[in-house]
Structure 1
Amino acid sequence: MNEPGSGRPLARVLSEAAAVLETAGVPSPRVDAELLAAHVLGISRGRLASLVMMGESFASADAENYARLVDRRATRVPLQHLTGVAHFRYLDLSVGPGVFVPRPETESVVQLAIDAARGLEHPLMVDLGTGSGAIAGSLAHEVPGARVHAVELSDDAFPYAARNLAPLGVNLVQGDLAHAFAELDGACDVVVSNPPYIPANAVPREPEARDHDPHMALYGGGADGMVLPRAAAATAARLLHPGGFFVMEHAEVQAAAMSALFAASGDWEQVTTHLDLTGRDRATSGIRR
């Protein structure tokens, strides 16, 4: 741990950094200022708060490193790219340029999959398009006895997924979600997917997503963004046994299209739209006929 030493008071440095980030339009300037400081010092955010209360100061070398990170965050480089870590449910995931940073909205999608597996003995679960491994890792970590498989196509994202999922015993393969896991056809209990789904002409408002998330992880293909979601739904139908559960994340504006997709295929019953914690339509699920 790098303990603070002689230099400028932590409280003042944090306040100035938060002001810089607020001016830059960062949504949570104070929180980000504190998380960057904790990262530089190699301590928890709670420990940082204690040092601030004690009137401790930033050592000069740490202060310089911190200022550089704050300046980069002010250009809207994602916080997780600067710290190298994304917190998702109970996991700390390794992330960086080239991999989609998992969002809090997806945590509720994971919960639906976990709930569907409750009471099953050694459930067979698949994550289609795992990215950093957030969904597959959470399933493996939180569902007792789960056998979890995940697929990721991106050459940039795959190493992050491999690093995150290896300790959790997930079977990870690199490939196209449309053709993944033929050996599991008709055998799976739960399939979950957060595929790329943004329509071609819809540019994300947040600079962190627009400028730094890989386009491969954002855009779903076609004017409606539904090419990859259609592929994910078809693969889920192939993998699941009758009574198996599928849930897929999507944009709020795609809820009706997703319900129509599920209904038109004839593969699903009990098709349901689910809200995220902000009350937006975030996922659609169905039970395999």
Structure 2
Amino acid sequence: MRIGIIADSACDLPGDFIERESITILPVTVQIGQAVLADVRNEEATMNFLSGETGARAFEAETTPFTVQQVHDLFLGRLIHDYDYVFCITTTRTRSGIHDNAVQASYTILNEYRSVRSAAGNNTPFALRVIDSQNVFAGVGVPVIEATRMRAAGESPPKIRAHLEHLAGNTHAYMVPPDLNYLRNRIKKRGDKSVSFLSATLGTALDIKPILHCNKGETGPVGKVKGFAAASKKLFDFTGERVAAGLLTPTVNLCYGGSLDEMRTLPGYQQLREVCADRKVEVFESFMGLSGLVNVGKGALVVAFAAPPHKFG
């Protein structure tokens, strides 16, 4: 059986991995003023787009996920010919409309695919499952990586589906944002009041960096540390402890809103790599996608993994 895997472009994964595993990306369109770019996970295009005046206004960005019709057309135009079963793994529905759009499109796709496949001489069934990752950024990448592992191992679609749905509730993404004022302006633009003006101002003045946690579609602070480097080290050290305690998948997924070489110089990074190597846990690293960058700002660090319930600290 030919199994396909789809993710939206807010899913942070290395470009060579996406290409090697033939993962289809559903683009998110980002508009800042009159400038518009479809996020297809191109680092050079992203950085060019966020340069100059456009970059200074990034917190004003409007993001638009693939519409129901666009998802429908993608499947009927190509994917139902290339695959027999497709997993579409999306950013949490609490933060993006792509999940609901994909679900709505799936209803018409499953009603219409037979005639399209039959016209191409293929009368075998086609199935589609939309999975809410219940996470963001690098957190979306964790179940995508696991889906590729299970596909390569020859696992059946029902087994893959059950495992991905279990992982969705047990995937954790932790983020250190570099600029609280930017984050406050952005979430205010989105109608979220979780970072007040006072806390943003004091945090910036004192160089306090929060550590944010996303799990089961909910995001909130779990710690605060003075200085970005110190906060990054605390996050890397904590991740190493989780790796040593045992993960649910052999994967740690990192993304960074800047040069990966810069991320690799952060304190605690090398120690985390050593712990992962000792435990045979594979580390994935990618440049944060455009939709992530406009939401949290340049220089953000995100670490994601699947693990049993735990507390940060």
- The two structures have a TM-score, normalised by structure 1, of 0.34
Greater Rg over alpha carbons, structure: 1
Q: When you count strand as a share of all residues, which structure comes out higher? A: 2
- The two structures have a TM-score, normalised by structure 2, of 0.32
RCO higher in structure (CA 8 A, sep ≥6): 2
